[in-house]
């Protein structure tokens, strides 16, 4: 072997011995692993960050059958001028290095959202550990309170919230999951304003309250309230405007094809009511220029089943099914029309994405009206076309028969 190649081989071998070292490793037992962050804004403009950390030995205690008197997580809060400054001051109360790579939720108070979420998200999409797939919520009260309730089934509030948002929108359609990436995309896209899901704590019903064992000392999580996901927060650019109710959120699902699922209560014969289960569908927002005038057409098509008859007879009658199709269409159409009116006249926020539809379908026309869209949006005529097809009536016949 030539001397030059031999020296090169030695150099490469020595380099390989040095380079693979774990220079950037982070030992698990040296980290404070954050699972949720609550962001509150005080009247004086100070930011309050609250982190939920899972205790490192909580899993061992649960597997070992401990007393269960202690919580498996801890909350740590700090106050500061900016998010970055406040996040660094958390170290004044932490015995380990903060790690946000496993964080899954960010909750903002209404006051913080009114001030504008753009500056209050800047740290998160710049931080090397933070993932933009974190779910984002807005709450009417203090954001930190949303990390203090007693979870029903899970070991900590974060897992309870994460599970609820994962399944609720697929079964109920009264909420819409959004992550930081979704918010930033809507914020930067033309012709659409962001929305974020609302999260709140509501009093437990009488049948839900269980007797507490041991002392009921203060400082622990509230056992008189429970998590509830219902409705959405509407924004104009990055600033909070107002709330959508659960029914208005359902209308948003139907209008923009975020999900055609859930239950509609429909009037039936003899003043009885039926539950119609929406099982799927499609929607399209169509911008149309006719005779030089722009208008929007919302086309919503849904498939459905009869979920509950509440004593209505003859549910297999084709004439009754046709009547129920029309009643369901009327309910959905009226709901969408009310939402459009609220968006245009009250909130003046194009969170349904009419402008975005124009930008996609008529890019040249959008360039002509883009600068005037805020005013044009409030006056543009909107036509709502709804089609419902009830395909199934269930496996059971009428539960009682005339004798």
* Span 17-36, pLDDT tens digits: 555 555 455 566 668 889 99
d(C-alpha 28, C-alpha 156), whole Å: 20
| pLDDT over threshold 60, residue 324 | yes
Please give the torsion angle defined by the CA atoms of residues 199, 188, 166 and 389, in that order, rounded to the nearest 10 degrees: 100
* Residue 1 DSSP SS3: coil
Question: What class has domain 256-395?
Answer: alpha beta
> How far apart (Å, rounded) are the C-alpha atoms in residues 388 and 315?
16
> What is the predicted pLDDT for the residue at 396?
58
Q: Summarize pLDDT for 190-208 with one digit per residue, the tens.
A: 999 999 999 999 998 877 7
Global pTM value: 0.85
Overall average pLDDT of the 302-328 stretch = 88
Q: Where in the chain is the domain with CATH 3.30.300.210?
A: 256-395
Instruction: Please tell me the distance from the alpha carbon of residue 218 to that of residue 188, in angstroms, as a whole number.
Output: 45
C-alpha dist (Å) from residue 329 to 52, 256, 269, 271, 392: 45, 16, 17, 18, 16
Is the pLDDT at 370 greater than 60, yes or no? Answer: yes
The pLDDT score that the predictor gives to residue 366 is 95
pLDDT at 173 over 60: yes
In terms of residues, how long is the chain? Answer: 403
Task: Please give the sequence-ordered ranges of beta strands (E in DSSP) within 237-320, or none if there are none.
Answer: 239-244, 262-267, 273-290, 293-308
> 55-96: per-residue pLDDT in tens?
877 554 444 443 344 678 999 999 999 999 998 888 888 888
User: How far is Cα 63 from Cα 66, in angstroms, rounded to an integer?
Assistant: 8
| Class of residue 81 by CB neighbours under 10 A (exposed 0-12, middle 13-18, buried 19+) | exposed
Under the banding of pLDDT at 50, 70 and 90, the label for residue 392 is: confident
């Amino acid at each position: 072997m030539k001397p030059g190649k031999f020296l090169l081989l030695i150099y490469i071998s020595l380099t390989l011995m040095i380079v693979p070292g774990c220079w950037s490793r982070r030992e698990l037992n040296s980290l404070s692993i954050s699972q949720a962050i609550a962001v509150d804004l005080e009247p004086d403009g100070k930011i309050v960050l609250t982190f939920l950390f899972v205790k490192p030995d909580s899993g061992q205690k649960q597997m070992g059958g401990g007393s269960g008197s202690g919580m498996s997580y801890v909350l740590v809060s700090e106050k500061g001028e900016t998010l970055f400054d406040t996040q660094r001051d958390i170290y004044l109360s932490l015995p380990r290095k903060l790690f946000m790579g496993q964080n899954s939720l960010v909750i903002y108070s209404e006051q913080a959202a009114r001030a504008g979420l753009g500056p209050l998200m800047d740290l998160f999409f710049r931080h090397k550990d933070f993932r933009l797939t974190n779910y984002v919520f807005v709450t009417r009260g203090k954001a930190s309170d949303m990390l203090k309730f007693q979870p029903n089934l899970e070991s900590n509030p974060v897992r309870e919230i994460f599970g609820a948002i994962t399944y609720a929108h697929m079964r109920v359609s009264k909420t819409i999951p959004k992550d930081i990436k979704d918010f930033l995309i809507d914020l930067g896209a033309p012709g659409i304003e962001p929305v974020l899901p609302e999260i709140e704590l509501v009093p437990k019903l009488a049948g839900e309250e269980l007797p507490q064992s041991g002392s009921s000392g203060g400082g622990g999580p509230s056992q008189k309230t429970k998590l509830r996901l219902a409705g959405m927060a509407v924004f104009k650019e990055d600033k909070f405007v107002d709330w959508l109710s659960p029914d208005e959120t359902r209308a948003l699902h139907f209008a923009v094809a975020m999900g055609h699922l859930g239950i509609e209560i429909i009037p039936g014969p003899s003043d009885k009511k039926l539950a119609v289960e929406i099982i799927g569908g499609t929607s399209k927002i169509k911008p149309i220029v006719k005779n030089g005038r722009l208008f929007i057409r919302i086309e919503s098509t849904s498939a459905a089943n009869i979920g509950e008859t509440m004593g209505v007879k003859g549910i297999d009658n084709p004439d009754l099914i046709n009547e129920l199709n029309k009643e369901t269409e009327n309910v959905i159409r009226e709901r969408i029309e009310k939402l459009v009116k609220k968006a245009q006249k009250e909130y003046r926020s194009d969170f349904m994405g009419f402008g975005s539809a124009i930008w996609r379908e008529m890019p040249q026309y959008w360039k002509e009206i883009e600068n005037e869209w805020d005013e044009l949006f409030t006056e543009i005529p909107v036509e709502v076309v709804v089609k419902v097809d009830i395909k199934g009536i269930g496996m059971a016949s009428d539960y009682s028969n005339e004798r």
